[in-house]
């Protein structure tokens, strides 16, 4: 975590500013703790990544295998103890997301050269140099790292520690990543000049996310893509959107849609699942602004 990121991060429980304790640092913080003096919440920084979950045990409850791996990686004794206690409070849940998140991180690494990303890079290039940029669901940071080439400060948020560990391999003094839930107030009342949310609407209630993002932008651009692949069995969102209702809702939230994206588009997003299998999505792109 960059030391400068402290200015932007807030306690996800009470929204207060945080205090930073550094255990190990080089050009950025490798191990540390973010503490909220108001509600006593603690957020560990492990492998350069702040894990801003309201309860670290809860985060690890769905990722027990990752918990063991993280414990092995930590060097500082205070942080190791914190991890040990958190692991001992882990609830018994059968589902473990570790393998799934590892698998998807590999898929994104193998799919970096998908035309979708070059198309998106070209589509975003027109946005003038912004002060503050946020990408929701940044995964391994394909677009986030690109954005950091031309904007002042760029953040990526994702719940996958595994994906962010890969993203964090690239150091830039204006690029940082946070493990957090999309709908948690991890950036407090900060306003962003540019927000990206690519292919995430199936994983969070879409209207809640749009409402949340609309409050984070006073003046600026919002760029969103989606394949509208909402049929996910018991994990399906309650209120899916489509080409039309996404545009209508963005307008309701005060966004003006760029004329070139008023009509639905069909951009190919190819994901290489393994050497013999590919997933081909047909993605719609909307560029809008306030
Ligand atoms: C389908 S992937 C899209 C990745 C990337 N935006 C792209 O288009 O290549 C969705 C990403 O969002 C993250 N994610 C899903 N729901 C989330 C949530 N509620 N909070 C934080 N991250 C979430 C996942 O871990 C995953 O990396
Ligand atoms: Zn707090």
Predicted confidence at residue 64, as pLDDT, reads: 94
Nearest CA to ligand 1 atom 7: 198
Asked whether 103 and 137 are in contact (CB, 8 A), the reply is no
Do residues 214 and 255 lie in contact, with contact meaning Cβ atoms separated by under 8 Å? yes
Residue 127 sits in the same domain as residue 45: no
Ligand 1 touching residue 12 (CB < 6 A): no
Question: Which one, of 228, 224, 227, 210, lies nearest residue 287 by Cα?
Answer: 224
Q: Kindly state whether residues 284 and 165 are assigned to the same domain.
A: yes
Residues 45 and 155 in one domain: no
Which residue, 96, 129, 155, sits at the end of a domain?
Answer: 96
Q: Residue 35 pairs with which residues in a beta bridge?
A: 19, 42
User: What does the pLDDT read at residue 18?
Assistant: 98
The finding on whether 200 has its CB within 6 A of some atom of ligand 1 is: yes
Q: What is the pLDDT of residues 76-125, one digit of tens each?
A: 999 999 999 999 999 877 789 999 999 999 999 999 999 999 999 999 99
Looking at the fold, whether 253 and 271 belong to one and the same domain comes out as yes
Separation between Cα atoms, residue 121 and residue 17, nearest integer Å: 34
Q: Is 159 in the pocket of ligand 1 (CB under 6 A)?
A: yes
Q: How many CB atoms lie within 10 A of CB 66?
A: 20
State the pairing for strand pair 277-289/267-274: antiparallel
Q: Does 150 lie in the same domain as 176?
A: yes
Contact present, 286 and 225 (Cβ < 8 Å) = yes
Cα of 126 vs centre of ligand 1, distance in Å, is 25
Residues 118 and 230 in one domain: yes
Which 8-state DSSP code applies to residue 28? Answer: S
Environment class of 287 (CB within 10 Å of its CB; exposed 0-12, middle 13-18, buried 19+) = buried
Give tens-digit pLDDT for 4-27: 999 999 999 999 999 999 999 999
Angle at 108 between CA 104 and CA 110, to 5 degrees: 115
CA-based nearest residue to 33, from 49, 22, 47, 48: 22
User: Where in the sequence is the domain holding 262, given as residue range(s)?
Assistant: 102-289
Is 158's C-beta closer than 6 angstroms to any atom of ligand 1? Answer: yes
Provide the number of structural domains found in the chain: 2
Q: Residue 247 above 90 pLDDT?
A: yes
* Cβ proximity of 139 and 107 under 8 Å: no
Query: Which CATH number characterizes residue 175's domain?
Result: 3.40.50.150
Locate 29 and state its tokens. 């913080």
Tell whether 167 and 260 lie within a shared domain.
yes
Q: Is 267 in the pocket of ligand 1 (CB under 6 A)?
A: no
**229 and 182 part of one domain:** yes
Q: Look at residue 5 in the predicted model and tell me its pLDDT.
A: 98
Tokens found for residue 273: 């699942």
Q: Which has the closest alpha carbon to 217: 142, 151, 134?
A: 134
| 50-70 residue pLDDT tens | 999 999 999 999 999 999 999
From 52, 79, 96, the end of a domain falls on 96
Report the residue among 135, 139, 273 best suited for mutation to probe ligand 1: largest number of ligand atoms under 8 A from its CB.
139
Strand 49-50 vs strand 42-46: parallel, antiparallel, or unpaired? antiparallel
Q: Which ligand is nearest to the CA of 107?
A: 1
* Ligand 1: centre distance to CA 201 (Å): 9
Model confidence over 135-176: pLDDT tens digits? 999 999 999 999 999 999 999 999 999 999 999 999 999 999
Q: What is the pLDDT of residue 94?
A: 76
The answer on 107 and 87 residing in a single domain is no
Query: Both 218 and 78 in a single domain?
Result: no
Q: Are residues 135 and 162 in the same domain?
A: yes
Backbone φ and ψ for 88, nearest 5 degrees, come out as -70, -20
pLDDT given at position 91: 85
Q: 51, 73, 96: which is the final residue of a domain?
A: 96
Contact between residue 172 and residue 192 where contact means Cβ atoms under 8 Å apart? no
Q: Are residues 175 and 260 in the same domain?
A: yes
Q: Is the CB of 32 under 6 A from ligand 1?
A: no
What is the per-residue pLDDT across 258-285, written as a single tens digit (0 to 9) for each?
999 999 999 999 999 999 999 999 999 9
pLDDT the model gives residue 211 = 98
Over residues 185-211, the pLDDT tens digits come to 999 999 999 999 999 999 999 999 999
């Amino acid at each position: 975590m960059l030391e400068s990121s402290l200015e932007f991060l807030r306690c996800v429980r009470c929204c207060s500013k945080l205090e930073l304790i550094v255990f190990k640092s080089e050009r950025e913080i490798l191990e540390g703790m973010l503490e909220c003096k108001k509600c006593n919440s603690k957020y560990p920084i492990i492998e350069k990544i702040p894990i801003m979950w309201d309860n670290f045990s809860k985060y690890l409850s769905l990722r027990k295998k990752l918990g063991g791996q993280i414990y092995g990686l930590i060097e500082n004794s205070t942080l190791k103890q914190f991890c040990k206690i958190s692991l001992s409070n882990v609830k018994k849940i059968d589902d473990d997301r570790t393998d799934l998140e590892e698998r998807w991180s590999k898929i994104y690494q193998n799919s970096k050269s998908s035309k979708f990303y070059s198309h998106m890079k070209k589509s975003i290039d027109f946005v003038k140099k912004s002060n503050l940029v946020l990408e929701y669901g940044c995964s391994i940071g394909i677009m986030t790292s690109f954005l950091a080439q031309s904007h002042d400060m760029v953040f990526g948020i994702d719940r996958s520690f595994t994906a962010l560990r890969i993203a964090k391999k690239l150091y830039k003094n204006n690029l940082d990543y946070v493990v957090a839930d999309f709908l948690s107030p991890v950036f407090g009342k900060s306003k962003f000049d540019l927000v990206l949310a690519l292919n995430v609407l199936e994983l969070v209630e879409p209207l809640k996310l749009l409402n949340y993002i609309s409050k984070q932008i006073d003046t600026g651009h919002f760029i969103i893509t989606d394949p509208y692949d909402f049929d996910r069995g018991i994990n399906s969102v309650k209120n899916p959107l489509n080409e039309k209702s996404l545009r209508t809702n963005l307008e309701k939230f005060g966004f003006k849609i760029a004329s070139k994206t008023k009509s639905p588009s069909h951009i190919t997003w190819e994901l290489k699942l393994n050497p013999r299998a590919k997933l081909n999505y047909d993605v719609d792109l909307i560029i809008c602004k306030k």
